Structure 1
């Protein structure tokens, strides 16, 4: 645990008592604060109270007497589409609002660091797609080369549940827009922006608000190095804003589809090869095509971003390359589950939006595509240019029939359930085919989250393997 600093004898309210909320309350208490906790769920409140938290009804004015700060969980809206009533009350009373990310950045450095030979560092990764894989890949490389490292944030361990840093350690954080948009302190040593595509637009009041939430990690924090994916205009704009001159190597530009020219520092992938350029000259190159844990152009973008971040903390190209080869990938993100009878089964349940699904469809040939769920605004019409590799689509979930109308002449079948989709796809697949779960939709019609959806797919494939 990382005790929160400078809160001794303060009364601090905590809204939301899920994993991060309870960890935040514990870290505040460890720092000497008096915590007043609240959650909208009766069962959640009762469970938290049984664990020793003081439950205070923050919907009542009297609860705010003496409260110095409100700490809110990331999933609770504070502005759009409208503030949560408790947050609206804090706004009205002038009580500062923060989250666990802000508390982490103001509490991570301690006096113990004065005795370290190497100062601990923080790498923070944000973006629309690929940030989990990029975060995990950076952490994997660091551990493989023997560098002490921890991983947390939006993946794995909550930030305040991490251990205090040791000499030379690197903490790698995945940060969502929900986390970056409100944190009062954002001071990573290296900040990574993977890409941007429309998502969570109701929460951010549109695409501009969504980009602004991501941009805060760079504008507010002033990282020593910024790794910026420039395959979209937002990334180009961000890199331009952060650079003082064309050769400013505090910004490392990253691309997965084009060679990057100029005198600065860049890392890009073309035709399966990663290249690093500095001052207009190539300084390193590696072959990504045989790295099984990183299939497809979207994972090559992740590899470029992770490579750049690792270079920014002093790792050598060859040790990064060696570590890449032992990376197994993350569950639910282009995860190869099995190869049965020459047919590859891939779980990309995390592909919940158009951009992620498009990248999954571009990563494989002869695809038997399992798609559907709770469709998002706009449906999947925008995926039509990427359907040339789809042999047949198997449509599941709430939006199955709507999606069937949006995929044009692509052969398809409405099968409703995951069981039926896996059964039909496996029965019809031929050697060389890939059965790909890339839903392009949320999971909440049939599953509590994308992880459970992916786990169901994996279980069904494992049943096939057992015969």
Structure 2
């Protein structure tokens, strides 16, 4: 646990008592704060009381009169589409509002660091798609190379639940826009921006607000090194704001859409090959095509981002390449779960938006595509350009018929449920086909999370006869 610094003797309110909220409360208490916990759900309050925390109803008038700080969980809106009433009350009272990410960055470094031979590092990864895979890949490589590494944030553990730093530690954090938007301290050593596509727009009042939340990781903290994906205009803009000239190697540009050899430091992937260029010449390359855990151009972008971040802290190209080969990928992200009768079954349940589904559709051939769920704003008509390798679609969930209407001319079947879709694919698929679950939709019409949706798919596939 990371004890929060600078809170001794203060009353600190914690709103939202899920995994990160309870870890935050414990870290504040370890730092000497008097914690006042609250959650709208009785179950959340019961968990806090069982853990020994005092609950205070923060919705009541005067609840913040003696409170020095309010710490909120990332899922609770503080501005758009409407501020949570408790957060709005705290702000009206002039009570500072923060989250666990801000507390981590103000508490991570300690006086014992002066005795370390190698100062601990923090690598933070943000963006729309690929954050989790990039984060996990960086952590995997570090561990493979014998470096002590901890992974947290939007993946794995809450940040304040991490172990205190040891000599040479590297902490790798996946940060969502919800987390970067509110944190009062953001000071990573290396910050990574993968890409940007529309998501969570209601929470940020549009694309501009969404990008602004991501940009805070670079503008507020001033990382020693920034790794920026420049395949979209926002990444080009962000890179331009960071670099003082073309040779500025505090910035590493990454791309999968074009060559980047003319910059001071760049990493890009073309036709399955990753190349690192510095000062106008190539210094390293990796053949990504044989790495099973990183299929498709979208994973090649993740590989570029991870490679650049690892090079920024001094790892050698050959070390990184060797570790890439043992990376198995993450569950629910282009995860090959079985091969039966020459048919590959791939679980990409994390493809909850059009952009991530597009990347999955481009990564495989002879696709039998399971898609649908709770469709998002804008629909899926833009996926028409990515259907070249789709032999047939099997639509499920609330938006099944909407998807069929928007993707005219595509051979399809309305299955409605995952059970029916998997059975239909098993009936139709022949050797050489790939059955791909890439929903392009949220899961909440039929499942509690994309993980539950993916787990159901995997269970159904495992039950099929070989």
Match of 2:319 in 1: 319
Q: Distance in 2 between matches of 1:172 and 1:264?
A: 25
Following TM superposition, where does structure 1 have runs of at least 4 consecutive aligned residues deviating by more than 2 angstroms?
none
How many aligned positions are there?
466
Match of 1:76 in 2: 76
Cα shift readout 1:401-439 (whole Å, capped 9, x = no counterpart):
111101111100000000110110011001110000000
Match of 2:406 in 1: 406
- Residue 52 of structure 1 deviates from its aligned partner by 1.1
What is the correspondence of 1:23-422 to structure 2 with a 5 Å cutoff? 23-422=23-422
Q: Distance in 1 between matches of 2:258 and 2:89?
A: 49
3-state secondary structure, aligned to 2:439: coil
- Corresponding position: 1:464 with 2:464: yes
- Residue 109 of structure 1 deviates from its aligned partner by 0.3
- Residue 65 of structure 1 deviates from its aligned partner by 2.1
- Residue 108 of structure 1 deviates from its aligned partner by 0.2
Match of 1:431 in 2: 431
3-state secondary structure, aligned to 1:90: helix
Q: Does the aligned pair in 1 maintain the 2:261–2:281 contact within 8 Å?
A: no
Match of 2:441 in 1: 441
TM-score normalized by the length of structure 2: 0.99
Q: Distance in 1 between matches of 2:317 and 2:413?
A: 47
Match of 1:3 in 2: 3
- Residue 63 of structure 1 deviates from its aligned partner by 1.9
Q: Distance in 2 between matches of 1:407 and 1:426?
A: 23
Q: Distance in 1 between matches of 2:34 and 2:132?
A: 34
Q: Distance in 1 between matches of 2:107 and 2:72?
A: 17
Q: Distance in 2 between matches of 1:237 and 1:339?
A: 43
Cα shift readout 1:155-206 (whole Å, capped 9, x = no counterpart):
0010000000110010000000000000000000000000000000000010
- Residue 64 of structure 1 deviates from its aligned partner by 1.3
- Residue 47 of structure 1 deviates from its aligned partner by 2.5
Q: Distance in 2 between matches of 1:406 and 1:46?
A: 46
- Residue 261 of structure 1 deviates from its aligned partner by 3.4
Cα shift readout 1:254-309 (whole Å, capped 9, x = no counterpart):
00121013231000000000000000100001100000000000000000000000
RMSD across aligned positions (CA): 0.7
Q: Distance in 2 between matches of 1:264 and 1:231?
A: 17
Q: Distance in 2 between matches of 1:327 and 1:261?
A: 27
TM-score normalized by the length of structure 1: 0.99
Gaps of 5+ in 1: none
Q: Does the aligned pair in 1 maintain the 2:261–2:282 contact within 8 Å?
A: no
Q: Distance in 2 between matches of 1:252 and 1:297?
A: 19
- Residue 35 of structure 1 deviates from its aligned partner by 0.6
Q: Distance in 1 between matches of 2:462 and 2:308?
A: 36
Cα shift readout 1:127-146 (whole Å, capped 9, x = no counterpart):
00000000000000000010
- Residue 50 of structure 1 deviates from its aligned partner by 2.1
- Residue 44 of structure 1 deviates from its aligned partner by 1.6
Q: Distance in 2 between matches of 1:310 and 1:392?
A: 40
Q: Mean alpha-carbon deviation: is it higher for 208-217 or for 41-50?
A: 41-50
- Residue 51 of structure 1 deviates from its aligned partner by 1.9
3-state secondary structure, aligned to 2:63: helix
3-state secondary structure, aligned to 1:35: strand
3-state secondary structure, aligned to 1:268: strand
Gaps of 5+ in 2: none
